[in-house]
Amino acid sequence: MNRSGTGLPWPRPLTFDIVEALKGDREATMVRRGLSAATAAALVLSGCGGTIAVELRATTAAPTPKASASVAPATPAAPAPPPLADTVHFTVKGKGDLKPTKALAPGTKVSVEDVPAGSVIELSEMSMTGSPIVVDSFRATTGSWRTGALPPSTDFQLAVLAPDGSERVAQFTTKGAGERATATITPAEGTYGVGMPIVIEFATSVKSRKAIEEKLEVSTSRDIGEASWFWPDLDTVMFRPKDYWPARTTVRVTADLSDVEVFPGVWGKDESTQFRIGAEVIMKASLTDYTLKYFKDGKKIETFAISGGKPGWETLNGVKIVHEAYTMKRMINTAPGANYDVQVPYAMRLTYTGEFMHAAPWNGVIGYANTSHGCTNMFYDDAVWMYNHTHWGDVVDFKGGAAGSVTFGDGLGGVWSVPWQQWVEGSALYEKDSTAF
């Protein structure tokens, strides 16, 4: 067909992609990267003989509808339980609930009641800055607890921390003590022998030996091995090692009794002393050989002639210690068979019942016979030497006498006559071993 008469130019063939898009008079749909789902644009194609307009539309898949979730109606939250510590309350025996604004009398005991199981109870003393210093802390296994007798002039805090974290706290104070008891500690400062015991004496019988002993402390510069307190009665407590003190040991005794009710209504007072154990001096006296041997640190230094007690006035056997010394001592005895009143030079006491080592210039059988009234007679120069080379606490061990032995209470050396197990059991803190057979 001749179309040249039309005067219209024949268009150049379209590219393959566009021809395919136009086949069958269908609408050309093209998706191009960068076009959104709702975007449509007109594309103008230019050929050699004219232009063709093609509509381009970007399409996306229809969104999948989401399933609607089923929501259950909200359940109201249960009310929180009250704090466990709310049940706790503080009481004073015989006076009802504790009133923190009222000072308590010394010796008062404060109780905490209705304590939840597993709570922690803490008793604290308040410092000068107001900070609590814990003196007792433990986990409660019962529903109540009571303090010991509270000391005077002290601020306290008693706290209960329940397992749920809640807390109950009470603060209170005690009045000052009206009267304080003084304890006398022997020995005082100085140097003593290895046999010297520690003695603490009170003016009258004490209320609680256990409470007092818990507040007594002995510290030493050297290991002393086993040692124990011993109460011979209700107003005296004594301390010694199982064996003699080690030589050259510094000993410090502390009695922190200001918070202890020593007698009913009377509180103690803090006391302390420090002394030194010197060389190990042990003297061995033979009442059959009439000799006394002086040992220092295990080495024999001197041997002296002596005369012990005559029949009826025998010198006691056993361990004694020097615990008084005089350059001149008046001795009086009005007992039948004695009847004397004399000034005795260089006398050193060994027992409370009157035994001394001393110079006896009137005795002409020293070293040959026992002719005294129980004392240990020595030559004058020997007694002077002994006076200058002994300390309180030095040991004199007598053997060979016809009489019995020294017993507890007859001089400080009597402490060494008590069997060790008996001494240990004399402590207020002694607890018998229930596992022993």
Q: What share of the chain is helix, strand, coil (3-state, %, to 5)?
A: 10, 40, 50
More confident site: 193 or 173: 193
pLDDT at 433: 63
Report the distance separating Cα 13 and Cα 281, nearest Å: 138
- At position 192, the amino acid (one-letter code) is Y
Report the distance separating Cα 176 and Cα 211, nearest Å: 20
Query: 315-362, pLDDT tens digit by residue?
Result: 999 999 999 999 999 998 888 877 788 899 999 999 999 999 999 999
Q: Which of 79-83, 145-149, 392-396 has the lowest mean pLDDT?
A: 79-83
Domains 184-274 and 281-421 share a fold: no
Q: pLDDT band for position 143 (50/70/90)?
A: confident
Report the distance separating Cα 134 and Cα 138, nearest Å: 11
Fold (CATH) for 281-421: L,D-transpeptidase catalytic domain-like (2.40.440)
* CB crowding 161-187: b at 16 or more within 10 Å, else e: bbeeebbbbbebbbeebeeebebebbb
Report the distance separating Cα 395 and Cα 43, nearest Å: 129
Report the distance separating Cα 376 and Cα 367, nearest Å: 11
* Location of structure tokens 């009710």: 261
Q: Domain segments of the chain: what residues? A: 15-54, 86-173, 184-274, 281-421
Q: 62: how many CB neighbours lie within 10 A of its CB?
A: 7
Please state the CATH superfamily assignment of the domain spanning residues 86-173 in this structure.
Uncharacterised protein PF12988, DUF3872 (2.60.40.2410)
* Mean per-residue pLDDT, 223-231: 98
Reported CATH class of domain 184-274: mainly beta
**Exposed, middle or buried by CB within 10 Å (0-12, 13-18, 19+), for 263?**
middle
* CA distances for 268 relative to 177, 271, 352, angstroms: 9, 9, 29
Q: Give me Rg for the CA atoms of the chain.
A: 51
Cα–Cα nearest to 374, from 424, 312, 302, 436: 312
Q: 254: how many CB neighbours lie within 10 A of its CB?
A: 16
Report the distance separating Cα 121 and Cα 78, nearest Å: 30
Residue 74 has pLDDT above 50, yes or no: yes
Report the distance separating Cα 44 and Cα 262, nearest Å: 117
